[in-house]
Chain A
Amino acid sequence: MNFNDILTMVLETLGMVSISGALAYLVGLPLGILLNVTSQKGLKPCKWLNFVLSLVVNVLRSIPCLIVVVLLMPAVRALLGRGTGEWYTIIIPLFVTSFGFVARMVEQSLAEVDKGKIEAVQSLGGTDFQIITKVLLPEARSSLVGGLAVTLVSILGYTSFAYNIAAGGLISGIWRFYSQNTGDYLSDPVFWVMIVIVILLVQLIQELGLAISKKLDKRRILE
């Protein structure tokens, strides 16, 4: 295993995380907004819709990622031409397993916005849509970015399951390295280099998320 192999694995992992993360937000963000808006204390309470959406999210979140990977394999095959063996074949399972999580995080973040602010903008003549775009999302932005970092780290962890469908990436690379060097993998520096890279990736996402989240938060301005 040389430098190029490791670089390829890192890029695969970054590809899996970023694309499935983007898809998860594409669906999870509107879903989270809808969950918040239709909740009992939301802008437009709607019991049945909230119930249905909650149910979907809860069920999805209850299925372990590995099972999602197995369940979706035929669908991935139909969609992308192959169900296993390439880095992109894990993206759809990662997306499906995480958008429910994203929806809950977004719902939580929006719930933190003070109701008084919403009323103030309503009293200025704001429409429901404007309340979402000009109050809920901007006021919760710092919390939303924090949630994004948590989501990406958790998806990074889920890329482990790429090993089961031979989809590559850094984490399955570490496992493969172990299975090919069961006797002396712990004394091989390559093994440790890969682990350090994983740790660095996680730290990078977390710290970057925290820094941006702090920078965006004008409730506490650091002079």
Chain B
Amino acid sequence: MTTCPSCGHQNIEGVDSCESCSESLTDLHLHEPATDVERSLLDDRISVLEPKSPITVSSNTPVHDVVVMLAERGIGSVLIVDEGKLVGIFSERDALLKLNTEANELGEKPISEFMTADPETLAANAKVAFAVQRMDLGGFRHVPIMAESGKLDGVISVRDILSYLTERSNG
């Protein structure tokens, strides 16, 4: 049997494309996974990383309150959500670059002025390898994960991916 790398369907040996999702299977011989880590990255979907429930604030929250929240909870980012809709993300890197030595003076301004608006998201059923690539490309450390329903499902961090890799490479 040949396992489709895209949807996981078990195909008859020798077919050119997956019977379930039509993905081409002709170049599969090029990337037969060589290690457990490779196989996991290829097969697993983001949902196995168990995205954490996001910490959210509304866009008019004063930036100082958000900074205090990040520091007290020991987290690296918050999502900005207005009326159930994701509108931005604010990370400790944003705090360092945008507030810097003026954190005190700028403290009462709303988080909307400092957040990264319309952040890139990933679908919960996307492959882990895909998440790795997108996070590398965009330089993201946190990515909001959307459920199939289009609702915010959680957040995954680079650290979640590292823990996942550690478990796989020791396994």
Do the two chains bind?
no
**B contact residues vs A (CB 8 Å cutoff):** none
**A contact residues vs B (CB 8 Å cutoff):** none
